[in-house]
Amino acid sequence: MQITSVVNQKGGVGKTSLSVGTAAALAERGRRVLLIDLDPQGHATTEMLGLPEVPPQAPSLAKALTKMWKGPVEELVVSHPRSNIGRGGAFDVIPTSPGMFDLIRRLDQFRVPGWQLARVVQFANYDHLIIDCPPALDVLTNNALAATHGILVPVQPDRTSIRALRLLYDQLAYVEQTVGRPPIIHYGLVPGLYRRPISHYAMAALNELHTFGLPVLPHIPLGVVMNEAAANGVPVTTFAPETIQAEAFRQIAHAVDTYHANGPAPAVVPAEQDFVFEDFITDVSDARNHNDNGARKKLYDLMPKRPRPPR
């Protein structure tokens, strides 16, 4: 299974469009694909694929990441019902859920933030996992970077994007070092969201992007068809298969899939530590629920009581 994160902390640069487009194009190639909506905004789930958010009482990615729920990853998955799928392929989604925003605060409390997502997905049975990251260098993005084999980075050709890229590469180095994982593969930069004919200003920025020495993949041309596809809740490869946008996603999917054929080095998910504070809390709370014959006891009812000092 090959894991690809679509990442850029800069907002509105086309991460979600690229995640959905690449995932759908891989499924069209006959690959089994799971798209993970890791952005608390939930745009991939709701705005682009027309799927509902997970109901509050159901198993969810937010609960799995904080170990409030420990079932198999398959129970988090829904199939996208209206995409073109090649023979043997699949297009499944782990949708957004309530609790995704709050999750950032709760994940930050883990002693070693970083490996929670890798643990949740490690037994998933797909050819490709595509992770749509939030527009932030936060603990969710760090989780994606810890788990991932490679990254796709959508960029707009302007000065602020060049600075954003420098910050992103600092963060990649930081995550590689702190979680102790092999180097993250750069599948490439994906330029987009600029008008034709291209201005001198945008051309200068595009040229500067090339100086990063990274592969530059086909750009995604601006087109209202992207918004129309989203309004219909289907990927553009299904909604308008003949368009230049659909073709660009196919070429990007081909580039990602080529690494699959070559078998990238996986990050090794470390074994759990002997004592994990979150497991301890979960066990205490399970014991509380088990012993609770109707009356909801407070967690500290189970704690040893100190005698009250005499008054």
Question: What is the contact surface with Mg ion in residues (CB under 5 A)?
Answer: 15-16, 43
Nearest distance from C-beta of residue 248 to ligand ATP, angstroms: 9
Interface map 184-203 toward ligand ATP (x if CB under 6 A): --------xx----------
Nearest distance from C-beta of residue 123 to Mg ion, angstroms: 27
Closest listed residue to residue 51, CA positions, set 89, 13, 82, 19: 82
279, 67 in Cβ contact below 8 A?
Answer: yes
Nearest distance from C-beta of residue 39 to Mg ion, angstroms: 5
Which of ligand ATP, Mg ion, none sits in contact with 215, Cβ below 5 to 8 A by type? none
Q: Does 228 bind ligand ATP (CB under 6 A)?
A: no
The CA dihedral of 188, 29, 48, 16, to the nearest 10 degrees, is -10
Q: Does 14 bind ligand ATP (CB under 6 A)?
A: yes
Site for ligand ATP in 39-68 (CB under 6 A): 39, 41, 43
Please, which residues bridge with residue 191 across strands? 155
Site for ligand ATP in 57-116 (CB under 6 A): none
15, 143 in Cβ contact below 8 A?
Answer: no
Q: Does 136 bind ligand ATP (CB under 6 A)?
A: no
Measure the CA–CA gap between 129 and 4, rounded to whole angstroms.
Answer: 6
Closer CB to Mg ion, residue 10 or residue 29? Answer: 10
Sort 270 into a burial class: Cβ within 10 Å, 0-12 / 13-18 / 19+. middle
Q: Does 160 bind ligand ATP (CB under 6 A)?
A: no
Question: Hey, which bits of the chain come out as E strands?
Answer: 2-6, 32-37, 78-79, 90-94, 128-132, 150-155, 185-191
Residues in contact with ligand ATP by the rule CB under 6 A: 11-17, 39, 41, 43, 135, 192-193, 220, 222-223, 226-227, 230, 245
